[in-house]
A and B are shown apart, each in its own frame.
Chain A
Amino acid sequence: MKSRRSGSSGVVRSPLETGSQSQAKRDALPSVAGGRLQTYDPAGDNVRRFLELLAGRLTRPLTVSLTACVHCGLCAESCHYFLARPDDPTMTPVWKADQIRKVFKRHIDWTGRILPWWVKAGSVHDDEDLNRLKNIVFGSCSACRRCTYNCPMGVDTGLLVRFTRGLLTELGVVPEGVFNVSRDQWETGNQMAVSEQDYLETLEWMRDEVRAELGDDKVDIPIDRPDCDILYTINPREIKFDPRPIAQAAKIFHVAGESWTLPRWGWDQTNFGLFSGDDRLGAWVARNVYEAAERLRAKRIVISECGHGYRSTRWEGYTWAGFDQRVPTESVVVTLKRHLDQGRISVDPSRNAEGVTFHDSCNIARSGDLVEEPRDVLRRVCSDFREMTPNRRENYCCTGGGGLLSMAEYRPLRLEVAKIKAEQLRATGAKYVCTMCHNCIDGLNDVIKHYKLPMKVVQVLELVSKALVLPEKGGRG
């Protein structure tokens, strides 16, 4: 493959593609016309606006991360980009963060305003500089926050990357894929532009599949049923391309006697605002879910297996939306654990006899603090569970995080640095790698295909569903 990179730096030199932005303007999409989705204006005063936004959006945590770095280099060793390209300083988290840090120093911090050469302050001068920044914060970081976790000074480079992405998103200086997914989520309420009819038909289809599998017409996938214990929210990928996890959840919920429903609106728990850095998109999407739970008086919001959706809906969304958390929110894996703990489902681990290893998603383990629950479930439904090394909060990214799966232009670099992940996976000798994230499924599948690993990706729901012992006919269910 021909590379767009040159010199010794791995940073991809990808121009700003504005084809779909222009189309969105021509179509006068409500999100564009209403000013919610920003497009690039080549005649705009973009550098000045960038600097104003930077100054206006600084918070205390950001300022700490901008000023506390002592350039010790520990972050470098924690980053799979640098580990895979050890002679390339532009792959270190500190270098990536310094590209925004130097602008902060030049324009905000007193040391840089008085002695810019002393503190290596610098600025952005034209739109080409902004585009270069785009290629760094979107293209050479999966925002996995492994460096953040390993920083002795508490510098949150992931936060700085997201902050910078947000400034660029405000100016339309974004990869085309990020624009497209944000557009679809703004326009349709879900990131894959699934229509309500398609949503409802797919749920009916899955209901019929489970009914046929269990030979039980009482199986249901309820929509908008009020006063349920669980409001189940999913990833649009489950509707559009792979609805098997919906059927697996419906089957297990049925056997467990769960009281549950999906909402007609507010069902997309994913949130591209996390990746684009756009807090307004983040707020709107998360609020749709929270309001669905209140409207239906659900006792709990349950999030299907999705990493960034978990972090967005369970943690960040409440802040973005300014929404008081009145209904508890959990991952479906926690729900499954409860079913097992309470004896509401029984499982036979011998049905998953081949080696299974677990890949912690960045947004679930490091940024979501959900670490032991999936292991607890996997040990009960698999007979050969093995950890990969490193694991838990120290696990390496699937390499497709931070929205990178939707940015094709950065894929060659992503797959090059994926050799760290490939070696880690290969060393387990496991036949299956389990992950509780749709993004990780595709990220890991890319790694497996590229590095020709003899492995398959599975999810927790799939393994539990396979191990599920169905009650005798005439019993419960």
Chain B
Amino acid sequence: MPFIEIEGRRIEINEEGFLARPEEWTEETARLLAKAEEGLDDLTESHWAVVKFIRDYYLEKNLAPMVRKMCQATGFTLTQIYDLFPSGPAKGACKVAGLPKPDGCV
């Protein structure tokens, strides 16, 4: 299994860069994933609002939320979500939130 190593920590990820074990997610993991996978040095309050919503939704329903739900819950527009996470809701935000890779054409 591949891993990323940042600041002395090793995190196992799958070949797509998604967390190997979604249950291992912590806020610190999110920071490392954001840096390694999205090039984000710092997660702002806005980033956390999106990440925490996705995380809670996933824990409750075992499913990645639709982008519609992300926008409704956080009050951000679609463009703002893309500004926050350059790789978009699936490969960006969901990845940082420690979700497994969504199935399908993504």
Interface residues of A (CB under 8 A from B): 1-2, 177, 180-181, 184, 191-194, 198, 201-202, 205, 209, 235-237, 239-244, 270, 306, 405-406, 408-412, 438-439, 442, 445, 449
A405 and B105 contact, CB distance less than 8 A:
yes
Among B16, B68, B105, point to the contact of A201 (Cβ < 8 A): B68
**Nearest-Cβ distance from residue B83 to partner chain A, whole angstroms:** 13
B2 CB contacts on chain A under 8 angstroms: 1-2, 412
A193 CB contacts on chain B under 8 angstroms: 103
B104 and A191 contact, CB distance less than 8 A:
yes
B67 CB contacts on chain A under 8 angstroms: 240-243
A405 CB contacts on chain B under 8 angstroms: 105-106
* B-side interface mostly: loop
B88 within 8 A of A: yes
B101 within 8 A of A: yes
B68 and A243 contact, CB distance less than 8 A:
yes
Known interface pairs A412-B15, A442-B91; A243-B78 also in contact (CB < 8 Å): yes
**Nearest-Cβ distance from residue B50 to partner chain A, whole angstroms:** 13
B90 within 8 A of A: yes
Contacts A181-B103, A237-B104 aside, 20 further interface pairs with beta carbons under 8 A come to: A1-B15, A2-B1, A181-B104, A191-B104, A192-B104, A201-B68, A205-B71, A235-B105, A236-B104, A237-B106, A240-B66, A241-B67, A241-B88, A242-B67, A243-B68, A244-B78, A405-B106, A406-B103, A408-B15, A408-B101
A205 and B104 contact, CB distance less than 8 A:
no
B89 CB contacts on chain A under 8 angstroms: 241-242
A/B interface sample: 29 pairs, CB < 8 A: A2-B1, A2-B2, A181-B103, A184-B103, A184-B104, A192-B102, A192-B103, A193-B103, A198-B66, A202-B68, A205-B71, A236-B105, A237-B106, A240-B67, A241-B102, A242-B89, A306-B105, A406-B103, A406-B104, A406-B105, A408-B16, A408-B18, A410-B15, A411-B15, A411-B16, A412-B2, A412-B15, A438-B105, A442-B106
Most chain A CB atoms below 10 A, which of B1, B15, B64: B15
B87 within 8 A of A: yes
**Nearest-Cβ distance from residue A319 to partner chain B, whole angstroms:** 23
B14 within 8 A of A: yes
In the complex, residue of chain A having the shortest beta-carbon distance to the beta carbon of B69: A198
Contact with A along B22-66 (1 / 0, CB 8 A): 000000000000000000000000000000000000000000101
Among A177, A209, A239, point to the contact of B66 (Cβ < 8 A): A239
A180–B87 Cα gap in the complex (Å)? 23
In the complex, residue of chain B having the shortest beta-carbon distance to the beta carbon of A244: B78
Known interface pairs A1-B2, A2-B1, A408-B14; A202-B66 also in contact (CB < 8 Å): yes
Interface residues on B, range: 20 to 34
**Nearest-Cβ distance from residue A176 to partner chain B, whole angstroms:** 9
**Nearest-Cβ distance from residue A377 to partner chain B, whole angstroms:** 23
Q: Which 3 A-B pairs have the closest CB atoms?
A: A1-B2, A411-B15, A180-B103
A239 CB contacts on chain B under 8 angstroms: 66
A302–B94 Cα gap in the complex (Å)? 31
In the complex, residue of chain B having the shortest beta-carbon distance to the beta carbon of A443: B105
A177–B16 Cα gap in the complex (Å)? 12
**Nearest-Cβ distance from residue A215 to partner chain B, whole angstroms:** 17
A242–B70 Cα gap in the complex (Å)? 12
A243–B91 Cα gap in the complex (Å)? 15
**Nearest-Cβ distance from residue B51 to partner chain A, whole angstroms:** 16
A205 CB contacts on chain B under 8 angstroms: 68, 71
A187–B87 Cα gap in the complex (Å)? 29
B66 CB contacts on chain A under 8 angstroms: 194, 198, 202, 239-241
A202–B71 Cα gap in the complex (Å)? 11
Most chain A CB atoms below 10 A, which of B66, B91, B102, B105: B105
B101 CB contacts on chain A under 8 angstroms: 408
Most chain A CB atoms below 10 A, which of B2, B71, B89: B2
A411–B2 Cα gap in the complex (Å)? 12
**Nearest-Cβ distance from residue A362 to partner chain B, whole angstroms:** 14
In the complex, residue of chain A having the shortest beta-carbon distance to the beta carbon of B2: A1
B91 CB contacts on chain A under 8 angstroms: 442, 445
Interface residues of B in 72-106 (CB under 8 A from A): 78, 87-91, 101-106
A172–B4 Cα gap in the complex (Å)? 32
A270 CB contacts on chain B under 8 angstroms: 105
In the complex, residue of chain A having the shortest beta-carbon distance to the beta carbon of B16: A408
B64 CB contacts on chain A under 8 angstroms: 240
A209–B80 Cα gap in the complex (Å)? 14
B14 CB contacts on chain A under 8 angstroms: 408
B90 and A241 contact, CB distance less than 8 A:
yes
A243–B67 Cα gap in the complex (Å)? 8
